[in-house]
Structure 1
């Protein structure tokens, strides 16, 4: 149950996000506008899908590095079948992603192979598959369905349809992690796999659920991005992996497993989108954006280290006092 608690640094992260929002609104011309808010909201929804998928694997003490390639393959599948039926294409793509993710989780659970090594291999393989599926030019959304591209970016004040879909799906994942046996088991396995196994938890099944969830969320993000742009290529989703991991880590999901919530991912996604949007509006080179986001990521890691060290010191002090008193 401890994994369900918001991390000790969440309040600090919320404060950072608010300070950034206010400061950038003052410093960057055009930042404080409904259009900018809608853009941030839309991209937070998309990044949060990827970040939440990665978070699922981080919670169980693993890491999925193939999610961007999964997004590319799923998007191409959906658009290629869209000529017959887009709904069928989406269902097939999500089904393929589910089978792939479950297979990866099964292999990890049964063999104990390092998830980063395994998913780097599949990242490369799936990227090659995506390039084979769309070798000459990107897969294109059929002309009769381009109205969906417009529908996804319909703005309702500071929100868009795509952003609502992304954040809505992420919210559902958050509820499932809090309120289901499988969700609680994920935290138990990430906290201590051997202890969880000794308590009767099927760790292989938990890994299968985590990696299947990661693959499905990655596939959904890829499909939404492809429908929004009207096309999908084998190399069009490479930024997804870095954005997702950054959102999770900046938001406070620990690398060692056992903790993390969708709230952490949403806060992290919001912070990095604020920075990206400000850089774009300010006409600053994209390399500067990478420097700033990298600095924020390092600062958050140091904050987590300091909080853990402080928490450990306090815990040690309480134990010393109790031993002395009794």
Structure 2
């Protein structure tokens, strides 16, 4: 694969998504120098990092985050609005970081893959994207305020980006999905700046191609990176490359680009409110999701049994 072929579709242009110039705002990437972004901007490892000396002393402080342990994960005790505000603070701080929308599947993966413990430690914060995590926190007597889904966050953060003129990059998904998602988001939020999009097959990239991709991300001046790469591949990639994509705040959003583009249907609101979005997805994608959900259910059942036995002991 030639690098020019892999990355020729990275920057959104009006022609690429079937619009004429001026119908909605798409900007070409700016260099770091044009954006006045320091090349040696420090990398923050998590939300509790304190500012240290010099330039960082003049940046806004990040308040401590109340945490609830759920299936061994340090989940931030955030409402939806508090999550959006936390992301905004991080963008304004101008330091590269990522946060995680954790569901039951991710909790199970963390039990199996010890590398994810370091990924979680380095994350700015984790939020509960899944009602089983919220229910479990209530069962343990340390209630999380609500579910905070990546699928809903994308819309809210896109609206914030349009208001603040933050530059957004759509990363991942199947070919063409990011184009359609960009069109939908820009149609909903006038003023939204989509500074680029890419749908790379990360498993097939050579080191040189991956480096070129990271340079493209950094050169775009993106401040908010939506990564639709799947679990746990997305979280591992973000952790491994944090800071190499520029100064953006990044989040792995799973199937959210497909929901926005309309290539996958999201559960109706009533299913979501009842905590049954997983059931709707199982009905619509049984072959792909049945093995995964069966393993997740087994993990949850084991956790419940262990908890009951510990309480009786």
TM-score (norm 2): 0.26
Bigger RCO (CA 8 Å, 6+ sep): 1
TM-score (norm 1): 0.25
More strand by share: 2
Greater Rg over alpha carbons, structure: 1
More helix by share: 1
